[in-house]
Amino acid sequence: MKLQRLLSLTRQAVDAYGLIDNGDKIAIGISGGKDSLALLYALEKLMRFYPKKFQIQAITVDLGFDGFDLEPIKSLCGQLGVPYRILPTDIGKIVFQERQESSPCSLCAKLRKGALNQAALDLGCNKVAYGHHKNDIVETMLLSLIYEGRFYSFSPKTYLDRTGLTLIRPLIYVDEADLIGFSNKYHLPLCKNPCPADGFTKREYVKKITKILEHDNPGVRQRMFHAIIDGNIPGWPPALNQNSVQQSSLTS
């Protein structure tokens, strides 16, 4: 996928759900994976021509695992002219050594999000951007159906009452396969996730199920995605720009 297409799909999501306003300062959570780095590229380029003026701030919550080299990301942010903050934490130690969680992902995510949100507030940000893409939206819905018995997925835009921050997900119209192509084409400096649970989670299980469903029923992922958009899920904002929603369907 070329940068132009990434920008087009990102802007469609931004316009459809009003994700960016004048004067925003947006913290981008940088994990070191392809999704967050593609989001960094997209928002940095969008910032140059989008009619609503905004700033971005890259933040990585370092969980404290050995071998997590962030120098390539620091170099990339320097090349793009994006301020970058690394937040050292002991979250990995707390989850895997002190608490010895049998299902560590929930606690880790909670602590990581809390640290990211606090860092965003400390740096004067009013929004936090996550690199969740179309596949994540569908997989979260299936996780909810299988393990919670409800039809749910996370929203493109969520206001957090306790912090005053707004979470946004500008990549919801982008397929994961396109992000992989973008990462390869532009040689993104990916940092391998050192988490010992990586690849052995419920989300990985659901990802495999989704791939099987798509193989046996081509187009099923796209149909599920639009079922989510049209499903009146509590917390999902109405689309401000229906043309952007329709255009995302045509270009997917």
pLDDT tens figures, 143-163 = 999 999 999 999 999 999 999
What is the pLDDT at residue 13? 96
pLDDT value of residue 100 = 67
Tens-digit pLDDT profile for residues 217-252: 999 999 999 999 988 888 888 887 656 554 555 455
pLDDT at 246: 47
CB 186 within 8 A of CB 3: yes
Strands 157-159 and 24-29: what pairing? unpaired
The three-class DSSP label of residue 69 is coil
Using CB atoms within 10 A of its CB, is residue 13 exposed (0-12), middle (13-18) or buried (19+)? buried
Element (H, E) at 159: strand 157-159
pLDDT of residue 101: 62
Give the pLDDT confidence score for residue 110 in this predicted structure.
Answer: 87
Give the per-residue pLDDT at 200: 62
C-alpha dihedral over 20, 24, 30, 35, to 10 degrees?
Answer: 10
Would you kindly state where each structural domain of the chain is located, as residue ranges?
Answer: 3-137+154-199
Instruction: Say which residues have a Cβ less than 8 Å from residue 30's Cβ, sequence separation at least 6.
Output: 36, 37, 40, 58, 59, 60, 73, 84
- Which positions of the chain have pLDDT values less than 50? 246, 250
Burial category of 220 from C-beta neighbours within 10 Å (exposed 0-12, middle 13-18, buried 19 and up): middle
Q: Are 154 and 169 in contact (CB under 8 A)?
A: yes
pLDDT of residue 241: 64
Please say whether the structural domain 3-137+154-199 has been given the CATH code 3.30.160.20: no
